Chains A and B, each alone.
Chain A
């Protein structure tokens, strides 16, 4: 691609990512907020793709589509006014938060513009995806193992947290009850 077009695409994606990110906290409807967040992720992933990382960019886009669809379901479950039929605000201390956020941005931007960042003349890998895959199956395998364990722990933890009444509620802490203790009788042999 011609470098100019890459620049143009980058700035379009960058501005849209930030604008849709701001929209998440400005729109009335929860559904609109969810899809604004999805748009922000897609535009940010677009900038990642401009860096010759197509695999990671597509990974982020696909994962975020799934995640935001799940999130939309939870939004409708837990929020009042999911359709945004009336204006609403649900914020506390908005002025303080805005001041902290703007201050953080100014601080970070100053650092970004003032620090003499290093640059590398090292050759770019022919296939960055291959580079990542070989690293994960080679000297970065520990990272992959820990991520796998963390995801497994997440599955167990989420099921435990979200279960209404598990077997320990029904059969006692040591699972010693012959018959489960349920709020109402019924079922097979009870």
Chain B
């Protein structure tokens, strides 16, 4: 249960989430990928707290920050999905390519 093992787990979770966020077409599935990436931050921050500075609370505070970021991302993501679905019947990213350069 070394720091390296935890960071390897965090890297794997981050990469899986990155694959999902890049490859999925559905907005909801992209949000799932982003959630997996934030989850990697939680694992990494907890491991850093335990192995490098257990006497200071900073690592735990970052975990709390990541959990909140996850909740906000979810809520706003679904609100945006609802708004764009209502106005244009769009639920795939490829159908909302207005800003494509």
| A residues at B contact (CB < 8 Å) | 3, 6-7, 10-11, 14, 17-18, 21-22, 24-25, 30, 33-34, 37, 40-41, 44-45, 47-48, 50-53, 56, 59-60, 63, 67, 70-71, 74-75, 78-79, 90-94, 96-98, 100-102, 104-105, 108-109, 112-113, 117-120, 122-125, 128, 131-132, 134-136, 140, 143, 147, 150-151, 154-155, 157-159, 161-162, 164
A33 / chain B contacts, CB cutoff of 8 Å: 29, 32
Chosen A-B contacts, 21 in total, with CB atoms closer than 8 Å, are A14-B9, A24-B20, A37-B36, A40-B36, A44-B39, A51-B6, A60-B67, A63-B70, A79-B26, A91-B23, A92-B94, A98-B23, A105-B11, A108-B11, A131-B57, A135-B61, A140-B61, A143-B61, A151-B68, A155-B75, A158-B76
A74 / chain B contacts, CB cutoff of 8 Å: 28, 78, 81
B82 / chain A contacts, CB cutoff of 8 Å: 161-162
Among the listed A10, A93, A125, which residue makes an inter-chain contact with B5, where contact means beta carbons less than 8 Å apart? Answer: A10
Is there an interface contact between B18 and A123, defined as CB atoms closer than 8 Å? no
> 0/1 per residue, B11-33, Cβ < 8 Å to A?
11111111110111111110011
B26 / chain A contacts, CB cutoff of 8 Å: 78-79, 90
B100 interface contact, C-beta 8 A: no
Is there an interface contact between B85 and A21, defined as CB atoms closer than 8 Å? no
The size of the chain B interface, using a CB distance under 8 A, is 68
**Total A-B pairs in contact (CB under 8 Å)?**
229
What's the nearest-Cβ distance from chain B to residue A83, in Å? 15
Q: Which residue of B lies closest to A59 (CB)?
A: B67
Among the listed A37, A92, A102, which residue makes an inter-chain contact with B25, where contact means beta carbons less than 8 Å apart? Answer: A92
What's the nearest-Cβ distance from chain B to residue A55, in Å? 9
Q: Which 8 A-B residue pairings sit nearest by Cβ, starting from the closest? A: A101-B19, A135-B57, A97-B23, A108-B11, A105-B15, A97-B22, A161-B79, A158-B79
Complex CA distance for A50 and B5, rounded to whole angstroms:
13
Q: Which of B12, B15, B35, B64: most chain A Cβ within 10 A?
A: B15
Complex CA distance for A14 and B46, rounded to whole angstroms:
14
A105 / chain B contacts, CB cutoff of 8 Å: 11-12, 14-15
Q: For the complex, would chain B's binding face be called helix, strand, loop or mixed by DSSP majority?
A: helix
Complex CA distance for A100 and B21, rounded to whole angstroms:
11
What's the nearest-Cβ distance from chain B to residue A128, in Å? 7
In chain B, positions 40-78 with a C-beta closer than 8 Å to chain A are 42-43, 46-47, 49-55, 57-58, 60-61, 63-65, 67-68, 70-72, 74-76, 78
A122/B54 contact (C-beta < 8 A), A90-B92, A154-B75 known = yes
B8 interface contact, C-beta 8 A: yes
A78/B81 contact (C-beta < 8 A), A98-B23, A125-B54 known = yes
